Amino acid sequence: MKIDFANLQYQHALYQDEIEQAVIKVMRNCNFIMGEEITQLEDSLKTYTGAKHAISCSSGTDALLLAMMALDIKPGDEIITTPFTFIATAETIAFLGAKPVFVDIDELTYNIDPSKIEAVITERTKAIIPVSLYGQPADMDAIQAVAKKYSLKVILDGAQSFGSTYKGKTDSTLGDISCTSFFPAKPLGCYGDGGAIFTDDDAFAEKMKSLRLHGQSKRYHHQYIGLGGRFDTIQAAVLNVKLKYYKKDLALRQTVATRYTKALSNKNYILPMVKSDCTSSWAQYSIRVQNREALQMRLKEANIPTAVHYPMPLHLQECFNYLRYEKGAFPISEKVSQEIMSLPMNPFLNEDEIMYIVSHL
Ligand SMILES: Cc1ncc(COP(=O)(O)O)c(C=O)c1O
């Protein structure tokens, strides 16, 4: 048996005719930049998430950047986030000249531990960026309570969690501004780079729409320093098709996760834990193992691909040496990064494939 980690090919084959026709339509109309498919997608994203505004953009990374630019994040500002995430969460903070301030994670969910946030707040702190890692939202009520107490904004990095919920609300409505990614391997992936930003705040929405178009207020009049951060019309056409089937895809991902958990329950691994007030979009199914490299090698020999999200927490990355965090500063992130391993995860993994994978664990 040969297992595909994300199985994008199967997904394309499933919706092939519809997607290809939608793309051909854009090509024939030549409306490549901000064509009608963009408006259509943004309307559907609003309906899907319940957010008042949905703004598509060029990537999940740019979504974070645009969100921070809308909040006027400046050099010297401090932004609190988790070190156990993809580089983009903190890189964008540093890119704007602000300082990433890390807080360790909760050992069960791998999301930022809200009880540790207050201790690192200073008069320079402007915002908190929780990440919904592997698809599960963080403890948002606790995070919002600290934010409110200190008048901070919350930007949610939902790059991995589009469609997940917390207390019945979609992940895209949990921050003052919430971001997501449509990178191909994400739960809702397009066919290249893409992302979106969500907010209920009219002023932030207007500003972010302008910022993604070089800060323009009207053509060739520029109110802000912005960026070229638009989403491509062709990619919007792809997502207009995929979004229609997304609820079904999420349900299938949940079935795969449930099967894994059941099949692995009598083995000696730490399995993912989704809190009872959350649903996960299951971007990854990540377990904690000992002797990870040897196990990955063994699985590879059986044609079972695995991945590590993420092998080195951000406070130990070379690019952040200037922040002067020591090894040991965030022991849970450091321990989990040594043990975590993602198993193949996509909506189309069938029972036989899951059993095959589990039999090698
Ligand atoms: C947590 C997190 N934040 C941000 C990003 C950046 O998204 P993109 O790759 O679309 O720029 C990713 C994607 O890999 C991510 O996983």
pLDDT tens digits for range 229-274: 999 999 999 999 999 999 999 999 999 999 999 999 999 999 999 9
pLDDT at 82: 98
Residues 279-291: what's their mean pLDDT? 97
Comparing CA positions, the residue from 64, 69, 93, 89 lying closest to residue 79 is: 93
**Protein residue with least CA distance to atom 13, ligand 1:** 159
Is position 3 within any domain?
A: no
pLDDT at 282: 98
Is position 2 within any domain?
A: no
Write down which residue in 185, 218, 244 finishes a domain.
Answer: 244
Q: Which atom of ligand 1 is nearest to the CA of 132?
A: 1
Which helix (H) or strand (E) segment holds residue 234: the answer is helix 233-244
Write down which residue in 244, 264, 288 finishes a domain.
Answer: 244
**Model pTM score:** 0.98
The encoded tokens of residue 244 equal 């229609």
pLDDT at 48: 98
Domain boundaries, position 256:
246-359
Domain co-membership, 254 together with 327: yes
Domain co-membership, 21 together with 151: yes
User: At residue 177, what are phi and psi to the nearest 5 degrees?
Assistant: -135, 135
Asked if the bond preceding 310 is cis, omega within 30° of 0, the reply is yes
Average pLDDT, the chain: 98
Ligand 1 pocket residue status of 161, Cβ below 6 Å: no
Domain co-membership, 202 together with 164: yes
Question: In angstroms, what is the span from residue 59 Cα to ligand 1's centroid?
Answer: 8
Contacts for 118 with CB less than 8 Å, ≥ 6 apart: 146, 149, 150
Residues 80-104: what's their mean pLDDT? 98
Number of domains in the chain: 2
Q: Which atom of ligand 1 is nearest to the CA of 283?
A: 16
Question: In angstroms, what is the span from residue 136 Cα to ligand 1's centroid?
Answer: 15
pLDDT at 63: 98
Question: In angstroms, what is the span from residue 159 Cα to ligand 1's centroid?
Answer: 5
Which helix (H) or strand (E) segment holds residue 100: the answer is strand 99-102
pLDDT at 77: 98
Whole-number percent of the chain with pLDDT over 70:
100
Ligand 1 pocket residue status of 157, Cβ below 6 Å: yes
